[in-house]
Amino acid sequence: MYLADEHRYDAMQYRRSGNSGLKLSAIGLGFWHNFGSVDPFDNQRAIVHTAFDAGITYFDLANNYGPEPGSAETNFGRIMTRDMRPYRDEMVITSKAGYLMWPGPYGEWGSRKNIIASANQSLKRLQLDYVDIFYSHRPDPNTPLEETALALDQLVRQGKALYIGISNYDPQQTKAIKAIFDDLHTPYIVHQIRYSLFDRHIDRNGLLRTLADEQTGLVTFSPLAQGLLTDRYLNGIPADSRAHKSTSPFLHEDNVEHTLSTVKALNELAQQRGQSLAQMAIAWLLHQPVVSCVLVGASRPSQLQDNLKAFANTDFSTDEINQINALLAKMPQA
């Protein structure tokens, strides 16, 4: 029988999501990879136990995570029932709707039909009465924002979600849907989007400033740029890597080739800081004031434990920030 580490809250940082009362663990566990029907269940359990024992309380899922789609939620539901049920009130569990889940016209996007049906399916797979945060996973160009917002608000009023988030919305869409949520008094508290040293588009398009101005929390995913910001590719492209197999929509061999010199230079800076490159990349995100939580994935417990060492040094000198910015400015474009 699993018993959580009694010292699990000693080292983790917790940050408010925007101006809400909800605090998120500064590092969260993402279920996009490694928790599907093709992955060993005992390893999944071990990763979840390691995360919770380290003080991670934020567990990030979505209806389509797998493979197969839905299987990450099903597996997490099994883990909840078997091990984590006594700790439910110490956990922030999320899900999302928006990407394709079933055939026909209602199986994706942001209609009321899809969002309500998807949330109900997710709760069954998770074996939960409610999730703590339910996200609109992507904006729907063919559904009015009001319809999407009202459906999300309905989930809160039905007790199926405590808070609402959005994901992958641009600054204009974010401002527009927040205005609707404000009118409805919906507890919208967080935006989730890809952000890393190698992907700073939310700096450029103004979303980071929008979230800061509106006092909305930011949860970031892909902090290691699909493995580019690790030591995995320092000496070439391994045969078993995502880049070599082209199994990721965001990573292929060309990505590795054009970033290699920058990765090596960043790795040298990380070593000077007493960190691995992955730890420095996570620490850089934690250094950003608007960031509430950095989502990390893990294929094994030891990988998660290594990433958690980023907390040892999240301060950056002005010189270090200038060095990082200079390296990124010189990085060749793919």
**Alpha-carbon dihedral sign for residues 148, 149, 155, 157:** negative
> Rounded to whole angstroms, how far apart are CA atoms 298 and 316?
25
Nearest 5 degrees, angle CA 212-CA 135-CA 250?
80
Among 61-65, 124-128, 197-201, 229-233, the range scoring the smallest mean pLDDT is 229-233
How far apart CA 187 and CA 181 sit, in angstroms, is 8
Please determine, looking at this structure, whether the domain spanning 14-330 carries the CATH number 3.20.20.100: yes
Q: What is the pLDDT of residues 19-57, one digit of tens each?
A: 999 999 999 999 999 999 999 999 999 999 999 999 999
pLDDT score for 261: 87
What is the C-alpha to C-alpha distance for residues 151 and 112, in angstroms, rounded to an integer?
Answer: 5
Q: For the chain, list the strands marked E by DSSP.
A: 14-16, 23-25, 27-30, 58-60, 92-97, 131-136, 161-167, 188-194, 217-221, 291-296
In this predicted model, what pLDDT tens digit does every residue of 206-223 receive, in sequence order?
A: 999 999 999 999 999 999
Range 103-128 average pLDDT:
98
pLDDT digit string, tens, across residues 192-209? 999 999 999 999 999 999
Better pLDDT: 250 or 266: 266
The residues spanned by each domain of the chain are 14-330
Q: What is the DSSP letter of 251?
A: B
Residues written for the chain? 334
Residue 198 to residue 175: CA distance in whole angstroms: 25
pLDDT class for 245, splitting at 50, 70, 90? low
- Higher-scoring residue by pLDDT: 171, 233: 171
Rounded to whole angstroms, what are the CA distances from 155 to 19, 123, 186? 21, 12, 10
Rounded distance between C-alpha atoms, residue 85 and residue 34, angstroms: 22
The answer to whether 63 touches 95, Cβ cutoff 8 Å, is yes
Name every residue whose Cβ is closer than 8 Å to that of residue 157 and which is 6 or more positions away in sequence: none
